[in-house]
Structure 1
Amino acid sequence: MKVLIISAIVAILAFATLSSSFVIRNDIASIRKANADDAEALQKSFASLTPNTKCQVGDMACINKAFAQCAPALAKDGSIVNKYQLFPCNTGLECFALPLVLKRGTSLTCTTQEDRDARLDQARNNL
């Protein structure tokens, strides 16, 4: 009788583990697809930005293929304004928005166009 009860408990736990694993995989797949869409939309929004675009201190972007961070700067008239400071990527690399893999969100990094495209494809296909 004890063996039967223990076997039943083990079977229930195994089923629960498999079920939750399936749900987690489905959730991760939808998160990755949403992140890929967000990364692509973010990248498109960067196209209209310049180093002089108004921004909030700490904002980050990709501008002219470089990593950009908003910081206070001295204007020609002596006033302090917020503008993007550009940090060029290494030779052969460009700044891109990429999808996070395990949670909602995006990140900015210097990489190649081919790597960016592959990461978007992997996120959309849950690879």
Structure 2
Amino acid sequence: MKFQSTLILVALCILSTFSASVTEAKQCFQKQNAREATLLNKKFDKLNKNSPCKTGETVCIKGQVAQCDQGKFVLTSCGPTTECFALPLVNSPGTSIACDKSEDAANRIKLARQCKCLIFIP
């Protein structure tokens, strides 16, 4: 009985260790997402509707959402008071292209950049 209790305790410790490291990895990708969003927005600043593109590609051009269709960008305006931005995802690695208020987009990138990465040492 004592052996089973010890075995269960060890198993629980291993599971909690694994869970902690997954949580920490989740927190760390947010900083990378902020970096990627910032780089994409800088790249978008250099694009115009005549820039070369690949079918299916979505970018922001002059505050509008631009989707590539057969090698040409088709622009769609955002709603009033919003512009197109690359934004960091919050719950998974990556970025998204979305219309948002410029101050809200800047705050989202800033918050993702400030996310703390904890280092787990077993």
Q: 1:59 aligns with which of 50, 57, 60?
A: 57
Q: Aligned AA for 1:123?
A: A
CA distance in 1, matches of 2:34, 2:107: 11
Q: Which has the larger radius of gyration?
A: 1
Superposition TM-score, scaled by structure 2 size: 0.85
Q: Give ranges in structure 1 of 5+ residues lacking alignment.
A: 73-81
3-state DSSP of counterpart to 1:69: strand
Q: How many pairs are equivalent? A: 116
| 4+ residue runs over 3 A deviation | none
The aligned counterpart of 2:120 is: none
Mapping for residues 15-94 of structure 1, pairs under 5 Å = 15-72=13-70, 82-94=71-83
Q: Give ranges in structure 2 of 5+ residues lacking alignment.
A: 117-122
Stretch of structure 1 that moved more, 42-51 or 92-101: 92-101
The aligned counterpart of 2:86 is: 97
Cα displacement string for residues 6-27 of structure 1 (whole angstroms, at most 9, x for unaligned residues): 3223321221122112211221
* Shift in Å, 1:64: 1.0
Superposition TM-score, scaled by structure 1 size: 0.82
